[in-house]
Amino acid sequence: MIRKDFKIISDWIKKDSTVLDLGCGDSTLLEYLKINKNISGYGFEKDINKVQESIKKNINVIQADFNVGLAKYFNSNFFDYAVMTQALQENKNPNHIILEMLRVAREGIVTFPNMGFWKNRFQLGFLGRMPVSNSLPNNWFDTPNIHLCTFNDFEKLCGDLEIIILDKKVLNNNYSTNFLLKIFPNFFGEIALYRFKKD
Amino acid sequence: MQNKLDKNSVGIVSPSSVEIKQSLELDCGKTIENFCLVYETYGKLNKEKNNAILICHALSGDHHAAGYHDINDKKPGWWDVCIGPNKPFDTNKFFIVSLNNLGGCMGSTGPNTLDKKTGNEYGPDFPIVTVNDWVNSQKLLADYLGINAWACVIGGSLGGMQALQWAISYPDKIRNSIIIAAAAKLSAQNIAFNEVARQSIITDPEFHDGHYNKFGVIPKRGLSIARMLGHITYLSDDSMRQKFGRDLREGKLHFGYDVDFQVESYLRYQAQAFVERFDANTYLLMTKALDYFDPAKEHGGDLSKALENTKSRFLVLSFTSDWRFSSSRSHEIVKSLVRARKSVSYSEIEANHGHDAFLMPIPQYLGVLKNFMENV
């Protein structure tokens, strides 16, 4: 069963387009897009074990840290889409990486966990502890998530960077949606997907 | 003996040779006619003849890539870690061809063979051949073997350059190309090392302008120094430190110029072994082939233009501690392939063995190769 967020991303992506997946993991998404949307493109991945898995799937993958690799490998407007799932918060400079995504691609797609989810707010606000939840499973001392944000924070950054949000989907940790998520996304949403482009 | 012929070895193998009765026009302008290529094959060519793999050797390599010539051989072929049943280049699945390149010294026509026109040994008069010439000669070998297209062409270092050149020269004759620890052209530093190696050979009093065999001698000292220098560039600072450190051979300093340290002893031993098996003229020729390689040159230095017509899938690999052809040299190849929108994967393998890592049984390295080969 393919993850719901991958399904949504696939719906956003046009057939036969070119896609760059930053932090592509074992390339499950790229494989899905290749089969369903006949995309071509590359994945970027640091972890050699995941690179091996991608190669096994016959997906083009470049072992590199995308914080330095993007500028090295790709000219401007090289791709139709630059995708980054659940890795934005692990970046040293999320604002830079978002702009880089929109340099190499016409559109960007990101997914990330919501720090403003009510359980996270509760843990910090009432228990006085750094949140640990399904979408943020790590303790504060061993988390790769160094730049967590809320959906509102992300949307403000997009505004500051003159980026237009084209699509937005908010999900809970089971990658499904409901009435509450639609009314109070920044309170009840756990994961968001955004599609955006430069103004 | 038991383990030599285990289920993962190709076992006892013997080389074949073929007289190519065609003329080959070389990049230097000369033509070579009726030349001999020595090669080994492992595995079986299938009915469709679409499972053939070409292995290209590096500077000092030859056709003996896997298995043993004799049950008493101490060492298997140079790439035995990768070639055999259930290994990355699986002989259960593929028909693997490994040859001694033209200009080599292990049986193929080269400086130490007879020029039939003159009846004399070629010696220094053997024309300088290029990577491009090698690929053209390998194409003639493929024709002879009835192989229309290679499922994959693979090589490390100078061998990787041949794998790259194949994709450029014969886009319809190669479906996959694996380029390991290579570069699209040598740097000034690379050429400088080669020049020191050449000078040490050429200035050896026993070189006799390349006609040393006529005098019944070989330029041992020059070839030794060339090999020692080369060998240092194949290892990393780390691997030398681990292997030798500052260990003394006899536990004390001698205050003389003979061997004190283990590393000196090792280099002398390696050089000695090399001098006994390798021809000095071939060594010179190989270093020139390296220096001259630059497929982007005829495209105004734009490698992605040179790669425009390629059709194969590519796998590019480098090793973290390789400083002879560092990872950044592989990045240049990958970048050009990406710009040309080619199918390419790249992995940078963590290894402390230096350039020689491509010959080592590093699990992640073998894993990447194996996974790539599954889709070949």
Specify whether the CB–CB gap between A152 and A186 falls below 8 A: yes
CA B141: distance to chain centroid?
A: 17
Residue where a domain stops, chosen among B265, B287, B309:
B287
Tell me the pLDDT band of B76, cut-offs 50, 70 and 90. Answer: very high
Q: Same domain, yes or no, for B119 and B175?
A: yes
Higher pLDDT, A55 or B5: A55
Q: What span, in angstroms and rounded, lies between the C-alpha atoms of A197 and A176?
A: 25
Q: Kindly report the CATH number assigned to the domain that includes residue A191.
A: 3.40.50.150
Q: Same domain, yes or no, for B27 and B78?
A: yes
Residue A10: which domain range? 4-198
Is the interface score ipTM higher than 0.90? yes
Q: What span, in angstroms and rounded, lies between the C-alpha atoms of A55 and A27?
A: 9
Dihedral class, residue B364 (left if φ above 0, else alpha if ψ from -120 to 50, else beta): alpha
> What is the predicted pLDDT for the residue at B325?
97
Q: Which residues of A touch B350 (CB under 8 A)?
A: 48
- Three-state secondary structure call for residue B41: strand
Q: Min CA distance, B46 vs chain A (Å)? A: 23
Tell me the pLDDT band of B283, cut-offs 50, 70 and 90. Answer: very high
Q: Kindly report the CATH number assigned to the domain that includes residue B273.
A: 1.10.1740.110
B208 is catalytic: no
Q: Same domain, yes or no, for B60 and B7?
A: yes
Q: Which residues of B touch A48 (CB under 8 A)?
A: 347-350, 364, 368
Whether the predicted pLDDT of B1 surpasses 60: no
Q: Same domain, yes or no, for B19 and B103?
A: yes
Give the dihedral sign, CA B197/B199/B205/B209. positive
Q: Which two tokens stand for residue B86?
A: 């259930």
Domain tally, chain A: 1
Give the type of residue at A123: Q
Walk along chain A (199 residues) and give the pLDDT tens digit of each residue. 678 889 999 999 999 999 999 999 999 999 999 999 999 999 999 999 999 999 999 999 999 998 888 888 999 999 999 999 988 998 889 999 999 999 999 999 999 999 999 999 999 999 999 999 888 899 999 999 999 999 999 999 999 999 999 999 998 877 778 888 888 999 989 999 999 999 8
Q: What span, in angstroms and rounded, lies between the C-alpha atoms of A8 and B32?
A: 62
Q: Same domain, yes or no, for B277 and B327?
A: no
Specify whether the CB–CB gap between A85 and A5 falls below 8 A: yes
Q: Kindly report the CATH number assigned to the domain that includes residue B169.
A: 3.40.50.1820
Q: What is the pLDDT of residues B335-370, one digit of tens each?
A: 999 999 999 999 999 999 999 999 999 999 999 999
Average pLDDT, chain B: 96
Cβ density class A74-108: b for 16+ within 10 Å, e for less: beeebbbbbbbbbbbbbbeebeebbebbbbbbebb
Q: Same domain, yes or no, for B180 and B207?
A: no
> Does B315 sit within 8 Å of A52, measured CB to CB?
no
Q: What span, in angstroms and rounded, lies between the C-alpha atoms of B194 and B192?
A: 5
Whether the predicted pLDDT of B3 surpasses 70: no
Residue where a domain stops, chosen among B261, B287, B313:
B287
Q: Min CA distance, B360 vs chain A (Å)? A: 17
Q: What span, in angstroms and rounded, lies between the C-alpha atoms of A5 and A11?
A: 10
Q: What span, in angstroms and rounded, lies between the C-alpha atoms of B217 and B208?
A: 9
> Which of B319, B370, B307 has the alpha carbon at shortest distance from B344?
B307
Q: Same domain, yes or no, for B328 and B248?
A: no
Residue B181: which domain range? 2-185+296-374
What percent helix, strand, coil does chain B show, rounded to 5?
40, 20, 45
> What is the predicted pLDDT for the residue at A133?
87
**pTM for the whole structure:** 0.95
Q: Same domain, yes or no, for B180 and B258?
A: no
Residue where a domain stops, chosen among B259, B287, B315:
B287
Q: Same domain, yes or no, for B58 and B159?
A: yes
Q: Which residues of B touch A75 (CB under 8 A)?
A: 339
Q: Which two tokens stand for residue B284?
A: 């010179």
Q: What span, in angstroms and rounded, lies between the C-alpha atoms of B260 and B239?
A: 19
Whether the predicted pLDDT of B2 surpasses 70: no
Q: What is the pLDDT of residues B95-143, one digit of tens each?
A: 999 999 999 999 999 999 999 889 999 999 999 999 999 999 999 999 9
Q: Min CA distance, B344 vs chain A (Å)? A: 6
Q: What span, in angstroms and rounded, lies between the C-alpha atoms of A164 and A195?
A: 9
